[in-house]
Structure 1
Amino acid sequence: MEADEADRYRAPALDKGLDILELLASVEEGLTQAEIAKRLDRSPNEFYRMLDRLVRRGYVTKLEGDRFTLTLKLFGLSQLHAPARRLASFAMPLMRDLAQRTRQANHLVVFDRGSAVVIAQHEAPNYWGISIRVGSHMSLLETGSGHVLLAFRTDEEREMMIAEHARDPKTRRPGAELYERLTEIRKRGYEMMPSAQTAGVHNLSAPILGPDGRVIAALTCPYIGLVNASDAPDIEQTIVMLQQAARDLSLLAGSDVKISG
């Protein structure tokens, strides 16, 4: 009786798409259309249209040698679901304390479908500060948050993230200098760079790591020099405080990985 009920509500096309996603999630090197069909015990022709739709919707990408592999779109979607809301909830007390001690605003950023997206933000406690609106989509390649999200991922994941970012025809592929910078960021444990959008602002950003040691978010402070507050922390002191807040939040997220600095 239960089997009959299950068959009544079958959606063969949906099942086929989910079978492909689950199979590709289980392999690292990707699979050809023929290999997918063989593993799922189906005809290769059955998967042509489904693979085409998954590629066009951004869930799957085609590599050299006609091999298909997952993009990070599902990962990005999951970041904006309940875990991201819980992360933002955990982060707010630490972000509030960081803002009070540094006298600077700060925000929390995750990767989503080719962009760095702000999921939480805390204002500076005084009159002056740079605030980034929650929900803002920012460049992966031109922001401190984006650099940190790329630096603390595997080479393969990084290329997928950049490929999703580069779907915009106005976006240029990064050169060797970006990859060199990402290596430096990973070694020192944070990013510090002049803002590409606002003069006089330095983006300070540190990674929030998950239990597997991979970055799940970036904690970022758009630092501005406060000439009317001589006792305010300088940029080097702010970096130390930012890194400590990022380590504390990583511990709350379940990570015990040591970050440089």
Structure 2
Amino acid sequence: MSEEDDSDRYRAPALDKGLDILELLSGIDGGLTQAEIAKFLGRSPNEFYRMLDRLVRRGYVTRLEGDRYSLTLKLFGLAQLHAPVRRLASYATPLMRELAVTSKQANQLTVFDRGAAVVIAQQEAPDYWGISIRVGSHISLFNTGSGHVLLAFRSDEERALMIAESEKRAEDMAEPPDFSERLNQIRARGYEIMPSAQTAGVFNVSAPVLGPDGRAIAALTCPYIQLLNFPDAPGVDDARKMLVATAQKLSELAGADVIHSSVQRQA
């Protein structure tokens, strides 16, 4: 039996059809109608109705206005939990530990996954006091420094998809007013600093870990608290500079050749 015959023997037509749709939509901006998908793939539109319905229900595809279908970021989120992200967490550990020691603050590393920011690594503060979040915790994109940074360093189209997934995941959460302008400001200065929306007296300081394409693959965040029993502990601005410098080192490890000038300027 030839290799081609052997390949046909183990075909899964329904799976092939679903993968054809995902691969097609991955290269299209603005989505396609069911008829357009059928035309591109040389099939009847009726062949794709049930497959598109399942892909929408499973969260891989979203239906836009005008009956157009577009990819969500679910595949991206799944990829974030794959081996490269685990390697990033491994590479980050000694740098996060050094940051904790020099800043005297806890810090954590988060990635985007299906509508939320997910903590993949965290480092405790070196002394008695500090704020930390458990690895595996899912936190909001809208009211956390990590979420803001993960959104700020993506394209407008990617932001919209991430926000839509977040609103779908937590129906009681909605995009705040003037949110896009705030994200643009974060991108321009290279970091976020904001009072915690969850804990009084805490400031979230966050900076992006950038991939080779300049997009955020992770966010490094320090939940800063003022340490009254350590008068010589770094202030929030010094801690911010340390965190931005650490995020830049992680970006270089992740293969980012060009670090945004605003990050370098503020560091």
Question: Shared topology, TM-score over 0.5?
Answer: yes
Measured against the shorter chain, the TM-score band is: over 0.9
Residue identity (%): 70
Residue of structure 2 in register with 1:105 after alignment: 106
What are the Cα deviations for residues 12-70 of structure 1, in whole angstroms up to 9, with x where unaligned? 10010000000001112211111110111100000001001101111011112211111
1:10 is paired with a residue whose SS is coil
Q: What does residue range 164-243 of structure 1 map to in structure 2 within 5 Å?
A: 164-168=165-169, 170-243=171-244
What are the Cα deviations for residues 227-257 of structure 1, in whole angstroms up to 9, with x where unaligned? 0101110000000000000001000000022
Partners of 1:253 and 1:124 lie apart in 2 by 25
Given residue 8 of structure 1, which amino acid in structure 2 is its aligned partner?
A: R
- The answer to whether 1:72 aligns with 2:73 is yes
Q: What does residue range 52-63 of structure 1 map to in structure 2 within 5 Å?
A: 52-63=53-64
Residue correspondences, number: 261
Q: Could you tell me how far 1:169 is from its partner in structure 2?
A: 5.6
Unmatched runs of 5 consecutive residues or more in structure 1: none
* Greater than 4 Å deviation, 4+ residue runs: none
Partners of 2:144 and 2:75 lie apart in 1 by 23
1:167 is paired with a residue whose SS is helix
Partners of 1:171 and 1:61 lie apart in 2 by 20
Given residue 191 of structure 1, which amino acid in structure 2 is its aligned partner?
A: E
Partners of 1:190 and 1:228 lie apart in 2 by 28
Unmatched runs of 5 consecutive residues or more in structure 2: none
Residue of structure 2 in register with 1:129 after alignment: 130
Partners of 2:204 and 2:170 lie apart in 1 by 26
What are the Cα deviations for residues 78-137 of structure 1, in whole angstroms up to 9, with x where unaligned? 000101101101111110110010000000000000000000011111011111100000
Partners of 1:256 and 1:229 lie apart in 2 by 38
Partners of 1:34 and 1:170 lie apart in 2 by 32
User: Which sits farther off after the overlay, 172-181 or 220-229?
Assistant: 172-181
2:169 is paired with a residue whose SS is coil
